[in-house]
């Protein structure tokens, strides 16, 4: 999310030119700090994966559609997306830590934030669609959610 910055000086408001990011990456303060944040990121991604897996099975027809699972997993993924920004904003590049994050993640952080927003929106949409009873809509909503994951992986996850 981008906002225009304002600055109040002696009762006057000055509009600063250019947008600012709601969150900007901050460098890890030590190797221990970097390692901890890599661990936290990986934990969130594992939880996202564990919630996406049954949804993918439903979309492929490998398991039956289950409205409650779609709603619950969509809610969980939306909540996990809220946490992603906090753990991705710690730039771990200057330390030799084992991570699958590409360096470009922190160079393009506004794009990362946008992709997190897309994930949240797709997860919220899945929750809404789950109650519709329309199996074609289920498949599309699950596909959109999976597409948001893939988009970020394609750009910011090392192979």
Token pair 């709603």 is found at 71
Q: Which residues contact 135 (CB under 8 A, 6 or more apart)?
A: 65
Contact predicate 58/142, CB 8 Å? yes
Q: Which residues contact 142 (CB under 8 A, 6 or more apart)?
A: 55, 56, 58, 59, 70, 126
**Residue 153 marked in a binding site:** yes
**Residue 61 marked in a binding site:** no
The annotated binding site is made up of 149, 152-153
The annotated binding site for heme c is made up of 149, 152-153
């Amino acid at each position: 999310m981008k906002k225009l910055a304002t600055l109040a000086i002696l009762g006057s408001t000055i509009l600063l030119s250019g947008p600012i990011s709601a969150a900007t990456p901050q460098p890890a303060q030590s190797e221990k700090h970097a390692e901890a944040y890599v661990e936290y990121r990986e934990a969130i991604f594992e939880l996202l994966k564990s919630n996406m897996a049954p949804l993918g099975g439903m979309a492929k027809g490998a398991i039956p559609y289950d409205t409650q699972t779609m709603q619950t997993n969509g809610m969980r993924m939306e909540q996990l997306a809220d946490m992603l920004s906090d753990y991705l904003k710690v730039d771990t590049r200057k330390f030799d830590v084992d991570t699958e994050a590409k360096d470009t993640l922190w160079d393009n952080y506004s794009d990362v934030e946008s992709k997190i927003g897309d994930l949240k929106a797709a997860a919220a949409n899945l929750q809404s669609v789950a109650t519709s009873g329309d199996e074609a809509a289920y498949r599309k909503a699950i596909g959109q959610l999976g597409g948001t994951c893939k988009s970020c992986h394609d750009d910011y996850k090392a192979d």
